[in-house]
Structure 1
Amino acid sequence: MPPSRRLPPLQALKTFEAAARHQSFRLAAAELGVTPTAVSHQIRLLEETLGLPLFERRVRQVVTTPAGDRLFPVLRDGFDAMAAAVAALRPPAPRRAVTLTALGLFTAKRLIPALGRFRARFPDHELRLHASDDVVELGTGIADLAVRYGRGPFPGLVAETLITDRFGVVASPRLGLRSPEDLEKVPLLRVDWRRQERVPDWRAWAGAAGRLEPAGTAVLTFTDDAHAIQAAIAGHGALIASLTLVADDLAAGLLTAPFGPELPGDGYHLLIPEAERSAPDVIAVRDWLREIAAGSAA
């Protein structure tokens, strides 16, 4: 049988580790929730047990002795290892909600309409949506996972492409567009994109169609793509829009895509920190997003 371990009192060792880490009895006391006098007592007990000084007491300062310098890293690493082992045994604490960040228009057009499906399928999981056109860094406490538009790469994150976007001409059916020539008779809607992704415009569409860029009867410019889509629904003109994001408006007959060509866009990607990929609530959101993507591709 292995010999019995002859160790000083555990509380004295724990107190020494805190005091050596802070190089202060006062800060160690604050961490441990005791008085500086209690810390001093525990250190004195340990020094008497070992038969040598561990701290050099100076005016308003304590400094570890060579013996203290030898003991400190061993205790620090040992306590760290014990804390890690205990944490690994505990089941993860349930998260109150998983937060998904995504572009504002994607949130409004694809996520919010599908919230009922999420609640019905995953009643035990709470989802919080964070709509922002600014990139939110994951792991900072703002969001747990993200849907981002672009090409990547996305270093340090698990990336899954959900949807590859397509763009085309859309307009209210009230405008009666039948052919590209009809674009000369209606206003053209443009978006002054703040973001720098590759977003097709009228010039790109005309190039793909092998035509001159249409002149239209007027040009209305918006700084927000949601406003431009609403203007198109209201019949104020024709727009080059994401067919992914106006899919419900097309299905409802609020918009029509009267003719081609369609232009390729970039992808919407689900991004998950590696450490979160197996969390049950993250898996639930991932499965829900896959269902949304499958419906968008249908």
Structure 2
Amino acid sequence: MSDRLPPLTALRAFEAAARHMSFAMAANELNVTPAALSFQIKSLEEHLGQPLFLRLNRAVKLTEAGRALAPGTSEGFQSLTAAWRAARRLQDTNTLNVTAGPAFTAKWLAPRLYEFARAHPEVDLRFSATLRIMDFDRDEVDVAIRFGYGPDPGLFSMPLRNEWITPVMTPELAAQYPTPESLRHAPLMFDDSIDFLDPPCDWPTWFRAVGMDFTPTHGPHFSQADHAVDAALAGAGIVLGRRAMVVKDIHEGRLVAPYKRALETKAHFRFLCRKGAETRPQIAAFRAWMLAEIEKTAAVHETLDILPVEEVPPA
């Protein structure tokens, strides 16, 4: 039996009919008449030498051969569509699709986007703020900004500045709680989005890093880092702020980090794209802009006494 593939149009007709389980709906999707679609499927069955559908009175049903063929044709056309879109995107030097977590988008990207838009008016930026790991081909993503440990096999991965955490608050609250010891009586808040870090970068760990044995148990918890930072900006309490989420507010004086001690984690933000795509004009411009923006707040990093969290004495 020959392995020669049948015509692509016949396979396309079968895939649509198998997905809809309706010749009429498949014909409508492919913009052909039901008779033309039926002819394509009939020719495919003749090529195979056995039926793919059971034709019932008002419905169709896959035969055993049809059930064997359907998954592969569906996956094949999805792959072809993704490959075609990827090839077409190579011709587009103006559109840039970026995905990042909601907190990073709100606290790092959004407040700075005006500067990029002003410097690169030719680039049409499109953002998807989600924690879902998106596929570069299927989801038509050009750049992903992700936080964690990696690795990122098969991708161009550029680490951004190392990530640290330190207590941050408004200047007014800093005046009320001038020392780490005074935090025993302060309104502490919890950013639960960093609970996955190992070793932990939480309040008990930070207190041990400054020589205190204290485990706070009361205070509001936030599942999103940007919500915790917004609460701190409103003066609701003191939170362990992550560098990327608070550095601009510290740099511009809306928040302060009065105790200097910060904990550095090996988890970090990475700039990700397909290998080879990092040189595309809009991606290279966006990467260079991010690095330049990070350097604008580098002075904050220099004011802190940063300790790798692995060096904090255990509980």
Fold similarity call, TM over 0.5: yes
Task: Say if 1:121 and 1:60 are closer, same or farther in 2 by CA, change over 3 A.
Answer: closer
| Residues 183, 214 of structure 1: 8 Å contact kept | no
Say which is worse superposed, 146-155 or 189-198, in terms of deviation. 189-198
What SS class does the counterpart of residue 147 from structure 2 fall into? strand
Q: Is the 8 A contact 1:24 1:61 kept in 2?
A: no
Structure with bigger gyration radius: 1
Is the CA contact (8 Å cut-off) linking 2:226 and 2:245 kept in structure 1?
no
What is the SS of the residue equivalent to 2:162? strand
- CA drift at 1:103: 1.4
Asked if 1:170 is matched to 2:171, the reply is no
Alpha-carbon distance, 1:242 to partner: 0.8
* 2:118 pairs with 1:132: no
Sequence identity, in percent? 27
Aligned counterparts of 2:169 and 2:11: Cα–Cα separation in 1: 73
Partner of 1:277: 278
Whether contact under 8 Å (1:205, 1:263) holds in the other structure is: yes
Measured in 1, the distance between the counterparts of 2:90 and 2:276 equals 12
Please tell me the root mean square deviation across aligned C-alpha atoms, in Å.
Answer: 3.6
CA deviation after TM superposition for structure 1 residue 151, in Å: 1.6
Q: How many corresponding residue pairs? A: 235
Structure 1 CA distance, aligned partners of 2:10 and 2:232? 68
Q: Structure 1's 158 and 182: CA in aligned 2 closer, same or farther, altered over 3 A?
A: same
Deviation at 1:294, TM superposition (A): 2.1
For structure 2, list consecutive stretches of 5 or more residues without a partner in the other structure.
Answer: 14-26, 37-41, 49-87, 300-315
Encode CA deviations 1:73-115: one digit per residue, 9 max, x unaligned: xxxxxxxxxxxxxxxxx99532562111111111111111221
2:252 is aligned to 252
* 8 Å Cα contact 1:23-1:61 kept in structure 2: no
What SS does the corresponding residue of 2:134 show, helix, strand or coil?
coil
Runs of 4+ in 1 over 3 A off after TM superposition: 18-27, 58-64
Write the deviation string for residues 264-296 of structure 1: whole angstroms up to 9, x where unpaired. Answer: 022111011014223222112112222122224
Instruction: Kindly provide the amino acid, as one letter, of the partner of residue 124 in structure 1.
Output: E
Task: Give runs of aligned pairs for residues 214-225 of structure 1, distance below 5 A.
Answer: 215=216, 218-225=218-225
2:160 partner letter: L
Give CA-to-partner distance per residue, 1:151-186, whole Å, 9 cap, x none.
210011010011211110111211212111110221
Q: What secondary structure is seen at the aligned counterpart in 2 of 1:230?
A: helix
Unaligned runs of 5+ in 1: 1-17, 37-57, 65-89
CA distance, structure 2, for counterparts of residue 26 and residue 189 of structure 1: 56
TM-score (norm 2): 0.64
